[in-house]
């Protein structure tokens, strides 16, 4: 039951993008097409999960025991940057079209506050063991993917609509993002996070 609460809480109730407002940069920048949003979500899933595992281990077995928790931010940034480089190399070899579609936003995963936010949120929870940390990271990545994919689908649909000239582009995208965030507020109270 505890894992169920973590999963539902991270995906719906406390969505990393729509409730905690982390990862807004790729949310607004890469959500123009569903395919690109799904590709970015896959990259975020990989980086977020591996980064959470590595940062949790570093925090638990290096930073805390040696009393050097003041190095937490810099060590977490180094882990995330290294993982993003790994993803970039893999995507360049495996899927050049996706690599091209993600463009500048792939290196920006390094500075994606959702990745760092999940790593910091995970180590801040004293009752989280490694398995709970992994479930939390994967659930947050799924929540990120859900928000990105829904928003990308809505933006593709908006391109077919007759939107007033002053609202085209970013203004209507922000209005739709706000409505999507309000829709996710309907999940509040579903589980206690």
For residue 51, what are its two tokens?
């980064």
- In this predicted structure, the answer to whether residue 157 has a pLDDT above a threshold of 80 is yes
Average of per-residue pLDDT values in the chain: 89
pLDDT at 130: 95
Total number of domains constituting the chain: 1
pLDDT at 183: 93
In a domain, 193, yes or no: no
Length of the chain: 193
- In this predicted structure, the answer to whether residue 98 has a pLDDT above a threshold of 80 is no
Q: Residue 69 sits in which domain range? A: 2-187
In a domain, 192, yes or no: no
Of all residues in the chain, the percent with pLDDT exceeding 90 is 56
- In this predicted structure, the answer to whether residue 191 has a pLDDT above a threshold of 90 is no
In a domain, 37, yes or no: yes
In a domain, 99, yes or no: yes
In a domain, 162, yes or no: yes
- When pLDDT is cut at 50, 70 and 90, the band that residue 123 belongs to is very high
Worst-scoring range by mean pLDDT, 44-53, 64-73, 140-149, 184-193?
184-193
In a domain, 116, yes or no: yes
């Amino acid at each position: 039951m505890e894992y169920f609460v973590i999963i539902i809480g991270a995906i719906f109730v406390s969505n990393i993008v729509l409730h905690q407002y982390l990862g807004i940069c790729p949310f607004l920048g890469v959500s123009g097409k569903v395919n690109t949003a799904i590709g970015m979500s896959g990259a975020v899933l990989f980086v977020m999960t591996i980064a959470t595992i590595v940062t949790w281990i570093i925090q638990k077995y290096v930073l805390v025991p040696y009393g050097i928790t003041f190095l937490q931010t810099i060590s977490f940034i180094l882990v995330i940057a290294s993982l993003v480089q790994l993803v970039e190399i893999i995507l360049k070899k495996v899927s050049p079209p996706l690599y091209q579609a993600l463009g500048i936003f792939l290196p920006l995963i390094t500075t994606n506050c959702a990745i760092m936010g999940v790593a910091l949120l995970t180590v801040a929870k004293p009752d989280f063991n490694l398995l709970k940390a992994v479930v939390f990271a994967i659930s947050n990545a799924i929540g990120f993917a859900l928000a990105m994919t829904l928003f990308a689908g809505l933006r593709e649909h908006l391109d077919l609509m007759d939107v007033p000239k002053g609202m085209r582009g970013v203004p209507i995208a922000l209005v739709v993002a706000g409505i999507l965030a309000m829709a996710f507020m309907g999940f509040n109270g579903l589980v206690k996070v």
